[in-house]
């Protein structure tokens, strides 16, 4: 189950992610079971995370991004260079998404 975000919600999350550092790195071994577990743990803990992918193959990064989002029920926020940004709400819900573009502009 993939989460669909509105454009303004994606923009809001990109802004929040700007200052984040990657919490998981996907190395030469690719998307192993332990890497997926680490991503899931970090999504539960932080909701919004950055992942760094080693390797120069852009198509492979896109495929990884889609697989992670599909398998973990996360929303793809941004793929920029070798960084992937994902969001998935947790039970404690730390990040409140704006409901409309007007709500986005009203936030500080």
Task: Using alpha carbons, select from 51, 54, 42, 47 the residue that is nearest to residue 22.
Answer: 51
Cα(107)–Cα(9) distance, rounded to whole angstroms? 12
- What SS3 class is residue 64? helix
b/e map 13-28, b = 16+ CB within 10 Å = beeebeeeebbbebee
Q: What pLDDT is attached to residue 3?
A: 79
- What SS3 class is residue 87? strand
The CA-atom distances, in angstroms, between 3 and each of 19, 74, 77, 86, 97 are 23, 6, 10, 10, 13
10-residue stretch averages of pLDDT, the chain, 108 residues long: 82 94 92 95 94 93 94 94 93 78 59
């Amino acid at each position: 189950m993939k989460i669909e975000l509105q454009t303004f919600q994606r923009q809001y999350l990109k802004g929040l992610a700007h200052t984040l550092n990657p919490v998981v790195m996907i190395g030469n071994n690719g998307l192993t079971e332990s890497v997926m577990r680490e991503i899931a743990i970090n999504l539960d803990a932080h909701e919004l995370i950055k992942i760094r992918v080693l390797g120069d193959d852009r198509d492979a990064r896109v495929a990884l991004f889609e697989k992670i989002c599909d398998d973990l029920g996360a929303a793809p926020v941004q793929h920029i260079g070798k960084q992937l940004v994902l969001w998935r709400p947790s039970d404690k819900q730390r990040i409140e998404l704006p409901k409309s573009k007007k709500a986005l502009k009203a936030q500080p």
